[in-house]
Amino acid sequence: MQQPILEIKNLSKAYDRGETVALANFNLSLNKGEVLGLLGPNGAGKTTLISILSGTLRDFSGTIAFKGVDLFSDRRLKNQIGIVPQEMAFYEDLGALENLMFWGGLYSIPEKELKKRALDLLSLVELSSRAKEPIKKFSGGMKRRLNVAIGLIHQPELLLLDEPTVGIDVQAKVSILDIIRNVGLQGTSVIFTTHQLAEVEQTCTRIAIMDKGVILAQGTLAELIRIVGEKEIVVVSGEFTANRFSEAIKKLSPNGVEILSVADNEAHLAFTNSEGIPGMMQHLFKHQLALDDLKIKSPNLEAVFLKLTGRSLRD
């Protein structure tokens, strides 16, 4: 059995003198070449985790082992980790090539080798034709792609990305996800945080669902979907409050219906047998709920998230 490249045990971090818990006895392991998508809403603790791993946030409890050694015991270990933060990390007045040469130079890479890596990365992120142009003229998607390239310039063994596709167009997003997937195939371990279900479905070898500072479940997409089971997922929308809908559903006599989440104007339910759906609709009409729409879906990652957290990612 291979040793995890990263192993986190009982990691805890709180803010506001302990009143706000960001991570609570958090545990995670990551193998070489594994691409882990860390999925969770705002406030789940994702950015806190990335900040601790990157060394920008201290004063925590627990242990973090990188390649079997305490991550903070040897500064050279940090040079084997690449960081792609939410905030852009480059100089706007410099060109893409100049930025890569500057940041790569911090790792004492020989100049000839560094320039080759920089040019290769510019090709990878489709910026070769704009290599010398000041970054301030780049679009948001181009800047995000350069941000990823900077995180890869020193060929890290572990790449950390915090919301790497925020605020960019679809084409740029697809490009970045392709890069993340290929980096994993080449043997680099990856953790990237996101709010987007589709991103982890398309990109990751493993997905971890996180909320309130802990991992609620993790596994492959197929393994996670088995948490919901072979059920029909029903999304009901209309002009109703969460309380009224919940009260009405609780009075529904037949078994086989499970509430995944209820909010004002929308509810997600799981049915063991789809034959119970018409009866449920009649029951809700009987309780005078104003319903506008009903959609039936197969079990998916969204349903798993709703079952585990009781809320959607947009909450």
How would residue 219 be classed by pLDDT, with cut points 50, 70 and 90?
Answer: very high
Q: At 312, is the pLDDT very low, low, confident or very high (cuts 50, 70, 90)?
A: low
Say what the pLDDT of residue 168 is: 84
Q: What is the pLDDT of residues 277-296, one digit of tens each?
A: 888 888 888 888 889 999 99
Helices 96-105 and 111-124 pack at an angle, to 10 degrees, of: 130
Non-local CB neighbours of 137 within 8 Å, separated by 6+ positions: none
Structure tokens at 47: 């950015």
- Asked whether residue 130 falls in the same domain as residue 61, the answer is yes
**Are both 100 and 209 inside the same structural domain?**
yes
- What are the angstrom distances between the C-alpha of 257 and each of 178, 271, 275? 39, 5, 11
Same domain, 156 and 46: yes
Residue spans of beta strands (DSSP E) within the chain = 6-15, 20-30, 35-39, 61-66, 69-70, 81-84, 158-162, 189-194, 206-211, 214-219, 232-239, 257-263, 266-271, 290-297
Q: How many domains is the chain built from? A: 2
H or E element, residue 45: none
Both 247 and 291 in a single domain? Answer: yes
How many beta carbons lie within 10 A of that of residue 8, not counting itself?
22
Same domain for 29 and 124: yes
280 and 175 within one domain: no
pLDDT digits (tens, 9 = 90+) for 88-142: 889 999 999 999 999 999 998 999 999 999 999 999 999 999 999 999 999 999 9
Length of the chain: 315
Indicate whether 310 belongs to any domain. Answer: no
Domain span at residue 12?
6-225
Segment 178-193 mean pLDDT: 93
Summarize pLDDT for 135-183 with one digit per residue, the tens.
999 999 999 999 999 999 999 999 999 999 888 888 888 899 999 999 9
Which CATH number belongs to the domain containing residue 280 in this structure?
3.30.70.100
Residues 130 and 217 in one domain: yes
The DSSP code sequence of 184-212 is HHTT-EEEEEES-HHHHHHH-SEEEEEET
Shared domain for 275 and 192, answered yes or no, is no
